[in-house]
A and B are shown apart, each in its own frame.
Chain A
């Protein structure tokens, strides 16, 4: 088969296990994660304007870019924005002004940016624009297993799907060059395994990159008028832009063919991280003459000619994460015929099962893992004591509408009843309270939201709550950082990553600016004061035509500053007083407290305890005491 020849030339490139002489290692080899490779790749490609909103598994891309840019560039912008939509529009506008730009987010973040994303495909770009969206098949730390390749297809945006760290580095560069060549936004899709994977990566030095970006905006009035038509297009012109977009896609498809590996007569079509699992399995089980692995670096758009070429194979099976993007485009077998699972990650073990379903391998014995201990808030976390006080004040009958952040873990100790998406903690309290009012039930509803999530999308919902006079309590957990994704900054910071001055945004001023009269700020570590404020809020809500807001402000103890200023006590258990009631274990859930089954009492693990002293309030018997160090 002619495909064999193509295979051979690619195989040469694929030798990853070369032993490199020691001197070169010192110079050029990095142990990079996929996200670091993308950050470095974007910089190397020429991106000079990068924005984003943090979200696992995408959060390390922007900090890597910042770190390298600070070292190698004079003139750039790289920082977090308030949410993905704003981040998208800010960076995209810079690209329209002629500066190579990019934006990073996680897959559910792309939902937030969907409006500009869909539109920008029509309008195109000038400086080049790369959208990085990282998917989370599994899911490991997300609400959905959605596939950004599908979103790209829906928006008619070309998408590159790297399969390993090396490709993550080179595809981020290819994404920008493709974008510049065709004046179209390009999506770079990664997944948890590629983004959080690590490998030795050999990269060139960045020194020759000290160039200055030059905006072309309005420089040439003649072309400016032409451009304006596109930038503020009427529906009539949008139709023409759509036509132009389709032409671009056709050309891109014809210039980007899939790659073929091995020589079998069963074609397995794939893209992204799954490719590397399949490649390994084919080698491991010597299936080189049974399978031909067809790798789509660019899973959308696909050239029509490929369909014809694939007809030469006995079977065509699509094995891809996490939705049937190639399968639908190429009318292949896969999820529709039950060969590929419709949910969950396609791990190497799952890929092995797929191969055995095809009759290529013997069925293996399934190894099932015991459940891992569930995660809980860090010892000393201000959210824990704040939410413990909240439960104490409002009890079990209240409905707690939670949100996305570390505090989602309050599910563990019963202070969160709902979690949907960013900002829904605030808007859910509206819908649920109104429903109770309509049913003439007086149940209390409390919305819980973190500071960054409040900025991200809690503000519009709070405006509606006030506008319609909904008497709910909104608790804003303000720890001064985006804690869950690795302590990125929020708009309340007064300094950028490079030490430049920023205007800090005040949450209470926003709340008061809306018109909300009951807005109190209190440190959750001041337990008695917090209880008092919650009781006041409860009273206020009984007769108010407005929500009440309590801001619990205490720095995240997982930051250097937060830890250094945190109170430090010597905490001890008075064994005689402990009755083994487990209130502190079940309703407070600090990892530093453990129940000794033999003794029937609770003890403190001094390795984990940071001495915050909050647990003294959790014990109904007064068996936990603290003293100043």
Chain B
């Protein structure tokens, strides 16, 4: 599976992608990918490529991603160049998440919702790589779908 994850520096995009990568490794899949960070720490675009169970190089060609996860809505158009299937965390999604969980846990919460809707990994595989606090918020997201 070819997965592209897009977001902004400071949003926890890297953590988000590593949870998926570690969960996939835990399931026995090969994982290769890359983390493309720009010059800026906070607010700059971050682009992650992940190949799960296939491939040997870290890059995904334009138009060939099986799923593009967009954590920041303004990167939607950019993300659509990687593949047709987009999963966008909209402004409303993020605001809704903010009303339910602390700001630092938004990603974990939204990951729960993502995995419920797009079950490319088992829920248990993700839970295994999260600490107890994150597990709680992940399940909250999972149950909210």
In B55-108, the 8 Å CB interface with A consists of: 55-63, 74-75, 77-78, 81, 103
Whether A112 is near chain B, meaning CB under 8 Å from some CB there, is: no
Are B44 and A277 in contact, with the CB atoms below 8 A?
no
Are B56 and A280 in contact, with the CB atoms below 8 A?
yes
Are B78 and A370 in contact, with the CB atoms below 8 A?
yes
Given B18, B37, B62, which contacts A369 in the complex, CB threshold below 8 Å? B62
Q: Place the interface of chain B in its size category.
A: 35 or more
Known contacts A25-B26, A198-B21; is-contact A277 B33 (Cβ 8 Å)? no
Q: Place the interface of chain A in its size category.
A: 35 or more
In A255-303, the 8 Å CB interface with B consists of: 273, 276-277, 279-280
B23 smallest CB distance to A (angstroms):
10
Question: What DSSP secondary structure best describes chain B's contact surface?
Answer: loop
Known contacts A141-B38, A349-B61; is-contact A372 B55 (Cβ 8 Å)? no
A202 smallest CB distance to B (angstroms):
11
Nearest A residue to B103, CB-CB: A607
Quick one: CB contact mask for B7-43 with A, threshold 8 Å, 1 for yes?
0001000000010011001101111111111111111
Whether A497 is near chain B, meaning CB under 8 Å from some CB there, is: no
Are A277 and B57 in contact, with the CB atoms below 8 A?
yes
Whether A377 is near chain B, meaning CB under 8 Å from some CB there, is: yes
Are A376 and B43 in contact, with the CB atoms below 8 A?
yes
Nearest A residue to B50, CB-CB: A198
In the assembled complex, which residues on chain A have CB atoms less than 8 Å from the CB atom of B32?
A: 16, 164-165, 197-200
Are A196 and B59 in contact, with the CB atoms below 8 A?
no
Whether A206 is near chain B, meaning CB under 8 Å from some CB there, is: no
A411 smallest CB distance to B (angstroms):
11
In the assembled complex, which residues on chain B have CB atoms less than 8 Å from the CB atom of A370?
A: 77-78, 81
B85 smallest CB distance to A (angstroms):
15
Are A31 and B21 in contact, with the CB atoms below 8 A?
yes
Are B81 and A25 in contact, with the CB atoms below 8 A?
no
Given contact pairs A276-B57, A280-B55, enumerate 6 new A-B contacts (beta carbons under 8 Å): A348-B59, A348-B60, A372-B38, A373-B45, A378-B40, A379-B42
Residues of B within 8 A of A (CB): 10, 18, 21-22, 25-26, 28-45, 53-63, 74-75, 77-78, 81, 103
Residues of A within 8 A of B (CB): 14, 16-22, 25, 29, 31, 33, 140-141, 164-165, 193, 196-200, 273, 276-277, 279-280, 347-349, 352, 367-370, 372-373, 375-379, 406, 408-409, 483-484, 558, 591, 607-608
A-B contact pairs, 29 of them (CB 8 A): A19-B28, A25-B26, A31-B18, A31-B21, A164-B32, A193-B59, A197-B34, A277-B59, A280-B55, A280-B57, A352-B61, A367-B62, A367-B63, A370-B78, A373-B44, A375-B39, A375-B40, A375-B43, A376-B43, A377-B40, A378-B10, A378-B42, A378-B43, A406-B39, A409-B39, A558-B41, A558-B42, A607-B103, A608-B10
